[in-house]
Amino acid sequence: MLAFLMSALERFFFRHRLATLGLLAVITMIMGNFASRLEMSAGFDKQLPQQHEFIKTFNQYRDVLFGANRVIVVLHARHGDIWNRQAMTRLYDLTQTLFFMPGIDRRSVTSLWTPNTRAVQITEEGMKAEDVIGGDVTVSTLDDQAIAGIRERTIVGGFVGSLVANDYSGAMVVAELADPDPQTGQRLNYLQFSQRLEDEVRAKYADADLDVQIIGFARQMGDIGAGAKSVVAFFALAFVLTALAVYGYTRSWALTLLPLLCSLVSVVWQFGTLTLLGFGLDPLAILVPFLVFAVGVSHGVQQVNFIAREVCAGADGMTAARRSFVALFIPGTLALITAFVGFATLVLVPIPMIRELAITASVGVAYKIITNLIMLPLMASYFRFDQGWVARVERLRARRDNAMVSLGRIAEPRNAVITTLLCLSLMAVAVWQSQGRHIGHVLPGAPELREDSRYNRDVESVVSHFSLGLDQFTVVVETPAGGCFRQDVMTHVDRLTWALGNVPGVLSAQSLPALAKLAASGVNEGNPKWAALPRDELSLGEAVRQVPEALHLYNADCTLLPVNLYLADHKASTLKRVVNVVERYRAEHGMPGVTIRLASGNAGVQAATNDVVEACELPMMLYVYLTIALLVLLVYRDWRAMIACCAPLTLATFLGYGFMKALDIGLTVATLPVMVLAVGIGVDYAFYIYNRLQMHLARGQDIVNAFQLALREVGVATVFTALTLSVGVATWSFSALKFQADMGLLLTFMFMANMLMATTLLPALAVVLEILIPRRGPVRAPLIAH
Partner 1 sequence: MIVMQWFRWLAVAWVLVFAGRLWATEIDSPAILLNNAQSAPLVAVARTGQRWVAVGDHGVIVHSGDGRVWTQSKSVPVDGLLTALSFADDRQGWAVGHNGVVLHSDDGGQTWVLQKRLDDQPTLLSVWFENARHGMVVGAYGYAAQTLDGGATWQAMQVGEEGEDHHLNALFAGRDGTLVIAAESGKAYRSSDHGATWQSLDTGVSGSLWGGTGLRDGRLLLVGMSGRVLMGDSSGRHWQRLDSGSHEAITAVTQLNDGRVAWVGNGGLVGRSDTAVEHFSVEQREDRLNLSALAANTSGDLLLFGPTGVIVPDAVPGAEK
Please, what is the minimum distance in Å from the beta carbon of residue 569 to partner 1? 17
DSSP 8-state symbol, 128: E
Please, what is the minimum distance in Å from the beta carbon of residue 494 to partner 1? 8
CA angle 312, 317, 318 (to 5 degrees): 135
Looking at 46, 486, 696, 738, which residue binds partner 1 (CB under 8 A)? 486
Q: Helix, strand, coil % (nearest 5) of the chain?
A: 65, 10, 25
For partner 1, the closer of residues 199 and 549 by Cβ is 549
Taking the CB of residue 255, how many other CB atoms lie within 10 A of it?
26
Q: Which residues 494-513 are close enough to bind partner 1 by CB under 8 A? A: 495, 498-499, 502, 504
CB under 8 Å to 366, separation ≥6 — which residues?
336, 340
254 contributes a contact to partner 1 by CB under 8 A = no
Taking the C-alpha atoms of residue 400 and residue 58, their distance in angstroms, rounded to an integer, is 58
For partner 1, the closer of residues 136 and 588 by Cβ is 588
> What is the three-class DSSP state of 14?
helix
Please, what is the minimum distance in Å from the beta carbon of residue 535 to partner 1? 7
433 contributes a contact to partner 1 by CB under 8 A = no
Q: Which residues 584-643 are close enough to bind partner 1 by CB under 8 A? A: 589
Alpha helices (runs of H) in 510-663, residue ranges in sequence order: 512-523, 537-545, 572-588, 601-636, 639-662
DSSP assignments along 331-395, one per residue = HHHHHHHHHHHHHHHGGGSS-HHHHHHHHHHHHHHHHHHHIIIIIHHHHHTT----HHHHHHHHH
Looking at 60, 97, 487, 705, which residue binds partner 1 (CB under 8 A)? 487
For partner 1, the closer of residues 78 and 535 by Cβ is 535
Please, what is the minimum distance in Å from the beta carbon of residue 517 to partner 1? 8
Scored b (16 or more CB within 10 A) or e, 728-760 reads: bbbbbbebbbbbbbbbbbbbbbbbbbbbbbbbb
Please, what is the minimum distance in Å from the beta carbon of residue 499 to partner 1? 6
For partner 1, the closer of residues 15 and 128 by Cβ is 128
Stretch that binds partner 1, among 10-18, 196-204, 327-335, 492-500 (CB under 8 A): 492-500
541 contributes a contact to partner 1 by CB under 8 A = yes
545 contributes a contact to partner 1 by CB under 8 A = yes
Parallel/antiparallel/unpaired status of strands 118-123 and 595-600: unpaired
Taking the C-alpha atoms of residue 105 and residue 101, their distance in angstroms, rounded to an integer, is 9
Taking the C-alpha atoms of residue 113 and residue 107, their distance in angstroms, rounded to an integer, is 13
Q: Which residues 550-569 are close enough to bind partner 1 by CB under 8 A? A: 556, 558
- 285 to 324: interface string for partner 1, x by CB under 8 A: ----------------------------------------
For partner 1, the closer of residues 158 and 700 by Cβ is 158
Stretch that binds partner 1, among 493-501, 569-577, 652-660, 717-725 (CB under 8 A): 493-501
741 in Cβ contact with 640 (< 8 Å): no
Scored b (16 or more CB within 10 A) or e, 183-218 reads: eeeeebebbebbebbbeebbeebbeeebbbbbbbbb
647 contributes a contact to partner 1 by CB under 8 A = no
Please give the helix or strand (H or E) that residue 396 lies within, else none: helix 387-408
79 contributes a contact to partner 1 by CB under 8 A = no
Looking at 139, 261, 370, 531, which residue binds partner 1 (CB under 8 A)? 531
Taking the C-alpha atoms of residue 287 and residue 735, their distance in angstroms, rounded to an integer, is 13
Torsions phi, psi of 186, nearest 5? -85, 150
Please, what is the minimum distance in Å from the beta carbon of residue 485 to partner 1? 5
129 contributes a contact to partner 1 by CB under 8 A = no
530 contributes a contact to partner 1 by CB under 8 A = yes
Please, what is the minimum distance in Å from the beta carbon of residue 536 to partner 1? 7
Stretch that binds partner 1, among 47-55, 309-317, 403-411, 533-541 (CB under 8 A): 533-541
> What is the three-class DSSP state of 303?
helix
Please, what is the minimum distance in Å from the beta carbon of residue 582 to partner 1? 14
Looking at 10, 181, 537, 614, which residue binds partner 1 (CB under 8 A)? 537
Looking at 22, 134, 248, 482, which residue binds partner 1 (CB under 8 A)? 482
549 contributes a contact to partner 1 by CB under 8 A = yes
Please, what is the minimum distance in Å from the beta carbon of residue 484 to partner 1? 8
> What is the three-class DSSP state of 72?
strand
Looking at 123, 141, 145, 406, which residue binds partner 1 (CB under 8 A)? 123
Residue 555: which of 496, 512, 498 has the closest Cα?
512
Query: Is it true that the peptide bond before 180 is cis, omega within 30 degrees of 0?
Result: yes
For partner 1, the closer of residues 451 and 537 by Cβ is 537
**Binding footprint of partner 1 on the chain (CB under 8 A):** 122-124, 155-156, 158, 160, 482, 485-488, 495, 498-499, 502, 504, 517, 521, 524-532, 535-538, 540-541, 544-545, 549, 556, 558, 589
